[in-house]
Structures are given as structure tokens and as C-alpha cells.
Amino acid sequence: MIKHKLVGNAMQMLVTELSPGEEVYGESGKFLWKSANVDMDTRFAGGDKHKGKGLFEQAIGTAIEVGKRKLAGESWAFVYFTPKEGNGLVSFAQMIPGEIKALELDGTQDLYVQKEGLLAAESTIDFNIALTKRIGAGVFGGQGFILEKFSDAGTLFIGSCGNFIELNPADYGGTIHVDTGCLVAFEETIDYDIKMIGGLDQKGIKNIIFGGEGIFFAKLTGNGKVWIQSMNITALARTILGYSGRASAEDRTDLGGLLGRI
């Protein structure tokens, strides 16, 4: 387990303390600061998996791994951090307001995360991608066909927009419906699909047209952990955009002062 602490509340920062032999990798653009004795190395996705192979095999293998990350909507490379001469500190932060959660994977179960959910991970954690099991979930699930898949044992750090909420569908009759923009991660024991908010009757059509929640829910079934975020980042962006250009109380006060001097 990587020693770490989370700093802040609404806009958290992650500080990891690395011992000799430990290493973390992070998403491009999410590094914040580090101690001077920590080495920083940008590596193409999956490059380590093909060390020791021939140059052609390495090139093909790396190209496949890079292609996977591009399918997932992520950058071509991870940034790795390794301490030199004793312990070192590395800090990461999200680009949106929200919480950070540390998850310990024991190697017995994979974890699925929606794109852009990864903040950082111990180098023992394997990154891969997974196609959604059903075409409907990929087309209408809000995040496309691709989920990020994390395997093996180690510490994984994921981020949310707003607060994290942990649920288990088994505690609510076996199935829960979640706003497609609020789903962050779930264990492999959970079945992921989509469901229309309403049918084609009068009530269903009203829900779709006037409910303001889109057309589909994420449908999660099974016994396992599901992590959702309290804020839909797309809805947040639309809200901010809607407020842009509006006059605030301060603007009106300034305008009144200006008119008073004319």
C-alpha cells in the first residue's frame, strides 16, 4: 500500500510518500508537485510490458497499448515517479472540483472506471481497456464503448466531480439506476447496462421530454461496490456556461456608481 494523505475537502489534493522501490504513475496534466529526489519519466502506455522482446515486437506491442489509451480518450503516455536516495513525495490534483478516493486492489478482482476517472496508481497496477458488454450500454451509456480496466494488486487513486457515494445494488433489491454522467467505477461482479427512463406511454414520454434527466439510466446489477459522483460534470459545465454573461450584483453596483458620476 502506498502511504498517502488527502488534503482539502471540496477540491482535494493527493500527496503520496514513496519508499525506495515504490513507483506511481499518473495521468498527464494531473501532477502538482514533488520533492527534488523523485525522478520523473514519461513512458508510452504499455511500454514496460514488452521489455526484453525484439524491437519489432516492442514497437507493435507499444502501438497497440497506445491505441487502447486513445480509444479510452486518454493521452498517449503515463508519467512515472520514482524516489532516489530515500523516501520522496509526489502530489497530484484533479482538474475539476471533487474528492479523491484510494482503493486497494488485491489482485483477485478487476475494477472498471469511466474515462478520466484515474488520477494515479501504483506501478504494480495494470491498466487496460474493456469494451462494454452490450452495444446499448456503449452507445447510450454516456461514456462510449470503452471503460478503463485496472488489475493486479496495489493502490489505485480515482477522482470524482463533487462527492463520492459508495453503493451496493444488493442492498437495494439487486439493481440500481444511476445518472449516466454520475457513474465513476464499479467492481467486476457488477453487470453494467442502460435502461430507458420511461416507456413510450404518456408518463414515459413526459419523463423523457420534461424530466431534464436525459433518456437513459445506467443500470447496475449484482453484489459488489459501485462508486458514483454527486455532480454530473456535463451538467456542471452547462450550468457555468448558462451563468456566463449574466450581470451579477457586483456588476449592477458598479454600473450604479458609474451612472452616478455621469
Instruction: Report whether 79 contacts 41 (CB < 8 A).
Output: yes
Residue matched to cell numbers 513525495: 89
Residue 256 confidence (pLDDT) above 60: no
| Residue carrying the nine cell digits 494488486 | 153
70's enclosing H/E stretch is helix 55-71
For residue 149, what pLDDT band results from cuts at 50, 70 and 90?
A: very high
Whether 5 shows a pLDDT value over 70: the answer reads yes
**What pLDDT, on the 0 to 100 scale, is given for residue 56?**
64
Mean pLDDT over 12-28 rounds to 94
C-alpha cell at 65: 497499448
CATH of 3-261, one of 3.40.50.1000, 3.60.160.10, 3.40.50.10440, 1.20.1260.10: 3.60.160.10
Segments in 125-232 forming alpha helices (H): 135-140, 202-210
Query: What whole-number percentage of the chain has pLDDT above 90?
Result: 48
Residue spans of the domains in the chain: they are 3-261
Structural contact between residues 18 and 2, judged by C-beta atoms closer than 8 angstroms = yes
- Each residue's pLDDT tens digit, 206-229: 544 444 445 678 899 999 999 999
pLDDT of residue 236: 79
- Cα–Cα distances (Å) from 146 to 55, 74, 133, 239, in that order, read 29, 11, 10, 27
* pLDDT category of residue 59 using cuts at 50, 70 and 90: low
Cell digits of residue 95: 482538474
Question: Degrees (nearest 5) of the Cα angle 169, 174, 177?
Answer: 60
